[in-house]
Each structure stands twice: as structure tokens, then as C-alpha cells.
Structure 1
Amino acid sequence: MTDELGERLRAAWVADSADALVDVGCDLAEEGRQEEAEECFRRAVALGEDWVWFNVGNTVRELGRPQEAVVAYERALTAGETDAWLNLGAVLEELGDLSGAMRAYSRAGEDAGDPEGFLRLAQLLHEQGEQGSAEAAAQRAAETGHLPAVGLLASWRWERTRDVALEPALREGSAVSGSARADLAQLLIETGRRDEARAELERGAKLGQRECWLPLGNLHAGDDLPDPADAPDGEPAAVDLAAAEDAYRAGIAAGDTHCHHNLGVLLLQRGDATAAEEEFRAGADAGDELAQRALRRLQGPGTG
């Protein structure tokens, strides 16, 4: 805690000013001093600022007390702090109360006008297999110009329809969504624009969109099309296995565990079965079914 912050804290307590307590509490929370922040926020509540239960909820959530956070957010909502709906939904989702989370996310969109609420509702509905309802919720967020929702909705629709008319939406969403950029690249490949696809993936990789590394590696490896005959004018795709390996390794470093499988395949083709097995095992341990199957095939019958 800086001397200035300490002086402000003491002054807020002496003055018994709710506004000052909230201000210094927020700064304490930003510096990781959650316990002191909680004390400030609870004192502000005691002084009659019931909406500050929202800040109490944020603080106790950071302190690993989610059930208390639920109670605090509900009290904030009672006080009219509708921004608490989104945070309440997140805590309920963490606690496994998916129906409660979906209701809270819906209210975040409806009552607080927060498109992120509709987006998170869409994601939960998608996970539950309710694709129609998921797209409807994402559409409501996208209509506000919320770019993450624009990208997500475009990706879902591309994966379902392969409609090239989705290109503008994928381009718009790619600004914030690696998945949208990867899907845009696939659309470009399928419409004969491989160089543009590579440029998009390279741009996404530089922006830290980890979803771009795997398709970039596949493009370098010549595996982005199901059959060489599908390439424009029947021309075979250019292959750069060194660049493909670099892309897969960069994807792994960025946290895309699916890259282990593709790197393993490349290493196996090179004749390095030992290194390939290590990659397949790493992917399998991370839950990648392709890597699990590849590991079983490499190890042979009877290996489980």
C-alpha cells in the first residue's frame, strides 16, 4: 500500500464518508488488498449505500467465498444495482447452478442492457445443445454491435451452413475473435484465396489469437483442403513443413492443446516416432480425442 493510499484510507474512516470509502476501497482492490477493500465497502453499506453490496460481492468473490458473493449480489439487485446481474450469473455458473446463471445472464441483457449477458447466455445454451436458442441470444447481443457476439454468431452459422455470405460478419468479428478469424480463413481457402487466408491467420497469430495457429500450421502443411483436387484450378497446395512445425509449436505455447496431435502427425511422417508419441500423449492427457486415438494406433493393439 502506498503512503498516499494509506492516508486516504485513514481519512475516509475518520470522515465516515461512504463516497470516500468506496473510492479508496476500489483502489485497494486494484492493488490486491481485498480484505481492506471489503472492510471499506461494508462500512459504506452500513452508512446506507446499499448498492455497494455489488462491490462487496466482487471482493468476497476474489477472496474465494462465492456463496457470500451470491448473497451480496442479490442484495445489490434489491437496491437497484442491475449491473450485479452479470456478476451473479458468473458466480452461479462457477457454482454449477446453470439454470440460475442463465436467468441472471438473461436479466443482465434485459434489465441492465448489457450485451455480454446475452452472449454468456448464448454460450451456456450452446453447451446445453440448444443451438437455436443460443443463436437467438447471440443475435440479440450482436444487434447492439457487441463484436464478441458478432464473431461467435458468425462462426456458429459458418460451421452450420458454410454460407460464403457470412464473410462480412466473420471479418467484423475477427477483430476480437480468433475463432471467427480462423473460420474466415477457411472461407477464403474454400473460395480460392489461400494467400489472403494465410495473411489473416498470420495477423491473428500476431494479435495473440491462439485459434489461428492450428489452421496456419495446417495451411503450411497442405492439410487445409480435404483433397488436393479441391485446390483452386487443381493446383497442389504449397507445403512448408518447417513453417507448419513452427506454427504448431507456437500454438502449443499459446495453450492450444489440439496442436499436439497435428505436430505428432508431422513428426511421425518425418520418421520420429518417439517425438510423435510424446506429442500424442500430451494431447491425449489434455483430453484431445484425436490425440488419444493416434496414441492408441501408434502403441499398437492391447495397449488400452
Structure 2
Amino acid sequence: MTDDDLDAFRAAWVSLPSGQTGLRYIEALVADGALDEALIVCAEVWALGYPIGLTEAAWVHSELGDMRSAIASMTAAIDVLDGDERLAAVGTVGCWRWQHFAEVEAESQLREGMYHYGSAWADLGNLLRVTGRVDEGTRVLREGAEAEELMCMLPYANILSRCGDLAGAELVYRRAYELGDAHAAWNLSLDLLAEGRDDEASEWRWKAAAGGDEVAIASLADAEPRLPD
């Protein structure tokens, strides 16, 4: 983000304040690291009646690590949104409550928003499993994986792997990798190594590292003296 780009977004917002120009300016400020200023613009956008001011403020607060404020802002947005946007906001609040504060009461929000926010689907499965409803939680993750909800695929494949169904886990890991999850490549490499498929395991470690998996990168730095043929 150059200064000229930021100035252009600011000028568009000042000359024609709207949800669209406000959103673009907020995104530019966030990209520039000006989070406090972004929050000011969020408040101005909301003052004009655009709910995007509340939702964007929630994400900015989350970037700042102020999750209580993030939850409060997204919760306020739920009251003025409708349709899919509202359900996505509900799922987001549920995820934040569960991920950051382990609030089991977030279950109802996760259930309501799970089909509109993928992390909510996965978090619901995990919440159910850790609160003693293992079968239901596994079923939720399986259904998410079968629907190719990426956030559900890795945890479900991990469950299959731990239960000894390495063939089933491999299928899910491979598909998750195809959909963009480099962590799945690393986990698959571990299962392949356990099965004695060393060459394939090495190949998948490289795929994981190329996708940005930090554990895979560290593993290769320690164990691989050269690039593969």
C-alpha cells in the first residue's frame, strides 16, 4: 500500500461517504497498519447507518487482540443484519467466544451460523467432542468434511488417523491439500512415514513446506540436506 493509494481511498471516502467507500478506506488503513484510525472510520461509517462499520470494527478489534470489543461489535451487528450476513456474524461471534474464552454457551451460536461460517462448523464439532459428546462431534466434523468445508477436513482426518483409519485419513488429507490446506500435507506425511512409505512422506513434507507450513519447513531444514530430484 503506497501513500498515493491511501490518499486516493481517503479522498474517495471524504468526497462521497458511503458503505462502499468507507469499506475500501478501512481496508486500506488496515493494510497500512493504521488500526486505530481504521476504528475511527468504522465508527463514522456506522454513524451513517451502514452495518459494515460494526462488522469491520469487530475485525479490527480482533487484529488488535481486543476480543471482548470484537465480540461486542459483531454482536451489535447481528441486531441490524439479516439473511446470510447475519448468520455469518452469528457464527463468527460463536467462534470467538469458543476459541478465545472457551464459552460452552457459544454452542447455540455455532449451530445457528455453522452453514454460513466454516470455522463455526468445525468449532461446533470440537466443542461437542471436548464436552463429552464425542459421537455427535465426530459426525458434525464428518459431515463438514464430506461437504468439503475446509475447516472441518483437517480435524476429521486427524480423528481418522488417531483411530487407525490411515487410508480414510489419507483421502481427506489429500483433498484438503487440494483445497489449499498445507497443514494437511504435513499431517499426511507423518502417516505415510508411519506406514513405511518414506519417499511419499518426503514428497508431502516438501508440499507442506512449499505451502507455508512452519513445522514442515523446520523439519526440512533439520533433515533434508538437498532439494529433491
| Cα distance in 1 for residues equivalent to 2:159 and 2:22 | 43
The aligned counterpart of 2:214 is 289
Conservation of the 8 A alpha-carbon contact between 1:277 and 1:295: no
Partner of 1:3: none
Q: Shift of residue 239 of structure 1? A: 3.1
Q: Is the 8 A contact 2:75 2:89 kept in 1?
A: yes
User: In the comparison of the two structures, how many residue pairs are matched?
Assistant: 217
What does residue range 44-59 of structure 1 map to in structure 2 within 5 Å?
Answer: none
Shift in alpha-carbon separation, 1:110–1:265, aligned structure 2, 3 A: farther
Q: Could you tell me how far 1:112 is from its partner in structure 2?
A: 2.4
Provide, for residues 126-157 of structure 1, a one-character-per-residue CA deviation record: whole Å limited to 9, x for no partner.
Answer: 22222232222222223445222222221122
Equivalent residue for 1:32? none
Partner of 1:123: 59
Change (3 A) 1:161 1:100: closer
Q: Give runs of aligned pairs for residues 75-114 of structure 1, distance below 5 A.
A: 75-77=15-17, 81-114=18-51
C-alpha displacement at 1:174, in angstroms?
A: 0.7
**TM-score, normalization: structure 1?**
0.62
Partner residue in 2 for 1:203 = 143
Please, what is the CA RMSD of the aligned residues?
2.6
Distance 1:110 1:217, change over 3 A: farther
Query: Structure 1 pair 149/106, CA: closer, same or farther in 2 (3 Å)?
Result: farther
Looking at structure 1, the residues matched to 43 and 189 of structure 2 have their Cα atoms a distance apart, in angstroms, of 43
Cα deviations across residues 71-111 of structure 1 (Å, max 9, x unaligned)? 2232112xxx4553223212333454433333223333342
2:75 aligned residue: 139
Change (3 A) 1:239 1:144: farther
Aligned to 1:183: 123
Structure 2 counterpart SS, 1:211: helix
What CA distance in whole angstroms lies between the structure 2 residues aligned with 1:110 and 1:200? 40
Higher-Rg structure is 1
Task: Note if contact 1:277-1:298 (Cα within 8 Å) is conserved in structure 2.
Answer: no
- In the superposition, the TM-score normalised over structure 2's length comes to 0.80
Higher relative contact order (CA 8 A, sep 6+): 2
Counterpart residue identity of residue 112, structure 2: E
Amino acid at match of 1:84: T
Structure 1 residues 83 and 280, CA, compared in 2 at 3 Å: closer, same or farther?
A: same
Q: 1:273 to 1:108 in 2, by over 3 A?
A: farther
Find the counterpart in structure 1 of residue 108 from structure 2: 168
Matched with 2:179 is 254
4+ residue stretches of structure 1 with deviation over 6 A? none
Listed as ranges, the matches of 1:197-276 within 5 Å are 197-222=137-162, 238-276=163-201
Residue in structure 2 matching 1:280, options 187, 193, 205: 205
Instruction: Call closer, same or farther: CA 1:297–1:186 in 2, change over 3 Å.
Output: farther
What residue identity is the alignment partner of 2:153? W
What do the CA deviations read for 1:198-223 (whole angstroms, capped 9, x no partner)?
3322333354421111011012112x
> Post-superposition shift, 1:249?
1.1
Q: Which runs of 5+ in 2 are unaligned?
A: none
Distance 1:108 1:209 in 2: 32
CA distance in 1, matches of 2:19, 2:56: 16
The equivalences for 1:293-304 within 5 A come to 293-296=218-221, 298-299=223-224
2:98 corresponds to which residue?
A: 158
